[in-house]
Amino acid sequence: MDEREPLAFFHHLSDPQREDMIEWLDGPARDVWNYHWPYRARAEQLPPPGDWRTWLVLAGRGFGKTRAGAEWARMVAEADPGARIALVGATLHEARAVMVEGESGLLSIGAPWRSPRYESSLRRLSWPNGAQATLYSAGEPEALRGPQHSHAWCDEIAKWDDASGQARRAWDNLLMGLRLGADPRIVATTTPRAVPLIARLLGHEPSGEVAVTRGSTFDNAANLPERFIAAMRAEFGESQLARQELHGELIADIEGALWTRALLERVRETRLPPVTRVVIGVDPPASAHGDACGIVVVGLGEDNVARVMADLTVEKASPETWARAVSRGAQAWQADRVVAEANQGGAMVESVLRAASAALPLRLVHASRGKSARAEPVAALYETGRVRHCGQFPALEDELCGLMPGGEYRGPGRSPDRADAAVWALSELMLGRAAEPRVRWE
């Protein structure tokens, strides 16, 4: 289905010229035209030409990925009464909230007289012509083992939980059921992350089996608030986070880094088991309004495996603000220890934390080695399966993947504040004095 060619000339017209052409149409024809996606879409939001099996839209937030995926699924359904479409999200809630009921979801686009009916109990959308779409969760790969489909739209596949290869199993089960119709196809829309499923799909790009569209948040600037665009540029600039989340760049692993994306995906879990201890690591900023204050919560499970449970880091906060964040975190997670680095103004660190909560179970530590060097024994814990991540922590994980052996840091920002907080907490929980032989404990 190549929607580009017949309307390619529209992309070379100015907005006034387009409106003049629409004025020539009568009322009913104008109504239909207003819902014609190839007229409204940017060229990169339309399916690419060629005999691809998978169209991967790898772009920044706000690019219009969801709208592109929804419009493609709608066009398939309206053109083929026999279409059976799988709608796969990271969870069933996200599939419904974003892909179906969201502002760019299937119930919000297209002509009202062709709108599908959603049957929530069946997780099914039905179009007036007989086409159907069914919702699935990538977190339940076995639910895709058996149903047959002609097409599929998969949203935010980089977010799919891949603990024990779960995301890849969901994808494989979907592929094996994609056997209806003459030309089964998949559209996958996502903000890029260097996870195994993305790497696998990109490996098929040279063969033409996977067509890739790349794009940036700023490609859609005409449809986004000017204040949002300005805020994104001012806040994130050309940082690594901006390159990934806004510019849609796939950030590859740094050769030789202590952590890799594949390692972090391997240790990811979706459910938090009971924990016997909770420790919060704190990496205070060096100045009153300097870098972020890293605040990371970890717990020790009954199986003697540590879990990273929350990243409570605050950006550009005053001492009173980050101290309150630590206090709230300690109370919310019922922490029995707060470990805070005191190299930068130890007395100040203790005073602001005590001011926020006099009962805080605080321990100050003084580092004698660099942040990355302290991380090496903690990285070894990950390699042996003794640390897991309960959920997604992209900013923390970006920093971990920038820590190099010997004390060098190549990750986003000037300092790995989140990573250092995590290292302090995990060292307290799993390694004790062995993690920092020359640390003086207070």
Read off the pLDDT of residues 78-109 as tens digits, 9 standing for 90 and up: 999 999 999 999 999 999 999 999 999 999 99
8 Å CB contact between 162 and 141? no
Task: Tell me what pLDDT residue 441 has.
Answer: 31
φ/ψ of 327, rounded to 5, equals: -60, -45
Question: What CATH architecture does domain 41-245 belong to?
Answer: 3-Layer(aba) Sandwich (3.40)
215 φ/ψ sector (left φ>0, alpha ψ -120 to 50, else beta): beta
Q: Give the highest mean pLDDT range of 45-49, 282-286, 407-411.
A: 45-49
Share of the chain above pLDDT 70, in %: 86
What would the two tokens of residue 180 be? Answer: 């209806």
424 versus 367: which is more confidently predicted? 424
How many residues belong to the chain? 442
8 versus 320: which is more confidently predicted? 320
Q: How far apart are CA 266 and CA 257, in angstroms?
A: 16
* Cβ neighbours of residue 79 closer than 8 Å, sequence gap 6 or more: 1
Task: Give residue 221's Cα distance to chain centre.
Answer: 21
pLDDT band with cut points at 50, 70 and 90 for residue 406: confident
Task: Give residue 46's Cα distance to chain centre.
Answer: 23
**Residue 439 burial (10 A CB sphere; 0-12, 13-18, 19+):** middle
Q: How many CA atoms lie within 13 A of 320 on its CB side?
A: 0
Read off the pLDDT of residues 326-360 as tens digits, 9 standing for 90 and up: 999 999 999 999 999 886 655 678 888 888 887 88
Q: Where are the domains of the chain?
A: 41-245, 261-441
Q: How far apart are CA 301 and CA 278, in angstroms?
A: 9
Q: How many CA atoms lie within 13 A of 106 on its CB side?
A: 31
φ/ψ of 429, rounded to 5, equals: -75, -40
8 Å CB contact between 66 and 191? no
Read off the pLDDT of residues 409-425 as tens digits, 9 standing for 90 and up: 888 888 899 999 999 99
What would the two tokens of residue 290 be? Answer: 């300097």
Q: What is the mean pLDDT of residues 232-245?
A: 78
Task: Give residue 347's Cα distance to chain centre.
Answer: 38
Nearest to 109 by CA among 79, 164, 68, 54: 68
pLDDT band with cut points at 50, 70 and 90 for residue 124: very high
In the predicted model, what is the mean pLDDT of the chain?
87
Task: Tell me what pLDDT residue 3 has.
Answer: 45
Read off the pLDDT of residues 186-237 as tens digits, 9 standing for 90 and up: 999 999 988 889 999 999 999 999 999 999 999 999 989 999 999 888 877 7
Task: Supply the CATH classification number for the domain 261-441.
Answer: 3.30.420.280
